[in-house]
């Protein structure tokens, strides 16, 4: 749902988020529009865990970064976007953990899991935005089709349940069978 009566800046968006009526709701700022993220389904939550847990376990033995769920990210020079991937990984563990507001960069890996109300077009636009602004790898997870679209600066690859997801150079040696992503 778009909350719109004008184009918002990141500063106005941050103020909007602090209003009492918005505290328990989840929003993104997309090209100046405040968009309420739909409440995730049980399926969405399970898939989130199926992806984030193996990455978290991998990071225990490969401490190269941080994984988060629903972490807001924004580019300092972009006054109209504050994005919130379902899962994000940032490879720089030397930077302090952000405790208020958005991380001031895009994640190295952004994962978006399609909810019933998400159009494939809007998800692909998000993938393009992440890559154009510094992400190096984006996974679009499509539960209804049991496919994952893998976006890199070099192009797009579509993985089926018979394939294996790779962390590429972002998460070296990390692999996850696609069928495990969709186990409910």
Instruction: Report if residue 2 sits inside a domain.
Output: no
Domain count, the chain: 1
Instruction: Report if residue 1 sits inside a domain.
Output: no
pLDDT in tens, 5-20: 678 888 888 888 888 8
Name residue, tokens 């994005």. Answer: 83
pLDDT in tens, 72-108: 999 999 999 899 999 999 998 888 999 988 999 999 9
Instruction: Report if residue 162 sits inside a domain.
Output: yes
- Report yes or no: 125 and 95 within 8 Å, Cβ to Cβ: no
The predicted model gives 19-42 an average pLDDT of: 83
Would the pLDDT of 25 be above 70? yes
Q: Which residues are 109's β-sheet partners?
A: 89, 137
- Tell me the residue range of the domain where 138 lies: 40-181
Where residue 53 sits, what CATH number does that domain have?
Answer: 3.90.1570.10
| Cβ atoms < 10 Å from Cβ of 94 | 6
Instruction: Report if residue 12 sits inside a domain.
Output: no
Q: Transcribe 3-51 into DSSP letters.
A: E-SSPPPHHHHHHHHHSGGGTTS-EEEETTEEEEPPPPPHHHHHHHHHH
In whole angstroms, what is the distance from residue 158 CA to residue 149 CA?
A: 5
Instruction: Report if residue 171 sits inside a domain.
Output: yes
The predicted model gives 59-65 an average pLDDT of: 96
Q: Transcribe 55-79 into DSSP letters.
A: HHHHHHHS-S-EEEES--B--TT-T
């Amino acid at each position: 749902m778009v909350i719109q009566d004008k184009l918002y800046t990141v500063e106005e968006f941050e103020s909007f988020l602090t209003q009492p009526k918005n505290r328990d709701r989840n929003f993104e700022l997309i090209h100046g529009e405040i968009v309420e993220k739909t409440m995730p389904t049980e399926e969405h939550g399970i898939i989130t865990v199926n992806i984030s847990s193996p990455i978290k376990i991998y990071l225990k033995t490969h401490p190269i970064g941080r994984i988060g769920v629903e972490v807001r990210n924004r580019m300092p020079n972009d006054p109209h976007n504050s994005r919130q991937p379902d899962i994000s990984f940032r490879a720089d563990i030397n930077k302090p953990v952000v405790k208020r507001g958005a991380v001031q960069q895009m994640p190295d890996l952004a994962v978006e899991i399609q909810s019933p109300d998400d159009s494939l077009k809007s998800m692909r636009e998000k993938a393009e935005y992440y890559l154009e602004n510094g992400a190096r790898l984006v996974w679009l997870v499509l539960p209804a089709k049991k496919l994952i679209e893998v976006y890199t600066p070099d192009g797009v690859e579509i993985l089926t349940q018979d394939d294996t997801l790779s962390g590429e150079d972002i998460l070296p040696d990390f692999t996850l069978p696609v069928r495990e992503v969709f186990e409910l």
